Structure 1
Amino acid sequence: MQLIHCPWCGPREEVEFHYGGQAEIAYPENPSELSDREWAEFLFYRDNPKGPFAERWNHSAGCRRWFNAVRDTHTYRFLGTAKLGEPLPQPKAQRDEEVRI
């Protein structure tokens, strides 16, 4: 079981949290003016990198608050968390993750 650090409650088991998608996605200013294609792109198309990625999470079984996190999508390891409105955590270099051939 992995521990996720809630900015308000501290470390808790991952079963207490729900994933909320990519962080820092702004809602369209005039959604009624978007074409079907533009609306679909807003709703469904997100980045999918391998490595550190900014995400939004909810502590659904605890304080029920939303927060941002940076998680390595390759290892699933959380690299940092922050309250909404605070700067996103900057991932630390991972010395033990060298690629060997």
Structure 2
Amino acid sequence: MRLTCPLCGPRDRREFYYYGSDDYLNRPAEGDGPQAWDAYLHLRDNPAGITHDLWYHDMGCSSWLRVTRNTVTHEIHAVDAVAAPAKGGAK
């Protein structure tokens, strides 16, 4: 699978680290109970079809990316930057 980084262009997926669903960005609020944190850390859906995932360009520009892809066909529909690259730039 190849992802097109907005800053680096097309790259092999091995340059990226997969963090899971973009729901990963929605942390429980301060003071939420153990059930909320358990669900956030351990419970994940495994949908068939279009998903929105969070990826980190570890071996490139250090950008956080939101990847829209189809888990059935492996087609990549979009790759969008979520956050600016970490200070220090590319590795």
Q: Which has the higher strand share?
A: 2
Mapping 1:1-101, distance limit 5 Å: 2-24=1-23, 25-30=25-30, 33-84=31-82
1:77, distance to aligned residue in structure 2 (A):
2.2
TM-score (norm 1): 0.72
User: Counterpart amino acid of 1:83?
Assistant: A
Equivalent pair of 2:2/2:13 in contact (CA under 8 Å): yes
Indicate the structure (1 or 2) with the bigger Cα radius of gyration. Answer: 1
Counterparts of 2:57 and 2:40, CA distance in 1: 25
Runs of 4+ in 1 over 6 A off after TM superposition: none
Counterparts of 1:26 and 1:14, CA distance in 2: 24
1:36, distance to aligned residue in structure 2 (A):
2.0
1:47, distance to aligned residue in structure 2 (A):
2.5
Deviation string 1:18-44 (CA, Å, 9 cap, x unpaired) is: 1011114411221xx222222101111
Structure 2: gaps spanning 5 or more residues: 84-91
Q: Which has the higher contact order (CA 8 A, sep 6+)?
A: 2
Cα-Cα RMSD: 1.5
TM-score (norm 2): 0.79
Counterparts of 2:26 and 2:33, CA distance in 1: 17
